[in-house]
């Protein structure tokens, strides 16, 4: 739990320092509330239905450091409540995302992003005998970097790599079915504009 708290603290400090260093800041706040009915909450043959209420808050900040460097930050907590489930179920998610874009020169562009997701949830563990509690929580961190190079007015190439890690609060539960995991990813693409100067209606 200490590691997760430190990760969130570091992410918050980086975001705060970046916002003060920016020359221009734009902040947007959105709130989405949805009410509906789910006729099979747990996707089982003996279907249990429940109304649900979800509330998603999105706080987005756009920071311009210079004509060549900008950043996008957002924090998005989600809250879901099913009052008619077997046990009144309340689920919350915390999402934090940061992306830094920098034009190295006229042809080369660098992008670095980090997404942090945190979820506490009651009754998460399916087998309480495996772990000390059915109430589990996890932290997921996804760091990615990419380089885009413009070859010509019509062609560009993009290469990137990333690292994803998910850690559950209970280490015993995390080792079951690979719930704890880490992955290294890599990708590349070549982009060519086939019909330049064409307006799509």
Give the pLDDT confidence score for residue 129 in this predicted structure. Answer: 45
Rounded-to-integer distance, Cα 78 and Cα 61, Å: 18
- Once rounded to an integer, what is the mean pLDDT over residues 67-88? 82
Give the pLDDT confidence score for residue 150 in this predicted structure. Answer: 93
pLDDT at 14 > cutoff 80: no
Q: What's the pTM?
A: 0.66
Give the pLDDT confidence score for residue 39 in this predicted structure. Answer: 79
- Once rounded to an integer, what is the mean pLDDT over residues 170-192? 84
Rounded-to-integer distance, Cα 13 and Cα 175, Å: 31
Q: Which of these ranges, 4-8, 101-105, 183-187, has the smallest mean pLDDT?
A: 4-8
Percent of the chain with pLDDT over 70: 70
pLDDT in tens, 115-147: 999 887 555 545 544 445 556 688 899 999 999
């Amino acid at each position: 739990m200490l590691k997760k708290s430190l990760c969130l603290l570091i992410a918050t400090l980086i975001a705060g320092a970046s916002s003060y260093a920016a020359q221009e800041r734009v902040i947007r706040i959105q709130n989405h509330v949805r009410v509906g009915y789910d006729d099979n909450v747990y996707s089982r043959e003996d279907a249990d239905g429940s109304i649900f209420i979800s509330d998603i808050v999105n706080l987005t900040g756009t920071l311009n450091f210079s004509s060549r460097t900008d950043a996008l930050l957002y924090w998005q907590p989600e809250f879901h409540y099913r009052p008619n489930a077997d046990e009144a179920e309340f689920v919350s998610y915390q999402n934090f995302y940061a992306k830094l874009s920098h034009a190295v020169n006229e042809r080369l562009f660098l992008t670095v992003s980090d997404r942090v997701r945190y979820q506490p949830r009651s009754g998460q563990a399916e087998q309480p005998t495996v772990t000390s509690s059915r109430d589990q929580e996890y932290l997921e961190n996804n760091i990615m970097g990419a380089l885009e190079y413009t070859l010509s007015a019509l062609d560009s190439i993009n290469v990137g790599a990333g690292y994803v890690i998910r850690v559950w609060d209970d280490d015993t539960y995390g080792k079951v079915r690979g719930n704890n995991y880490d992955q290294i990813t890599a990708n590349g693409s070549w982009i060519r504009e086939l019909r330049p100067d064409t307006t799509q209606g």
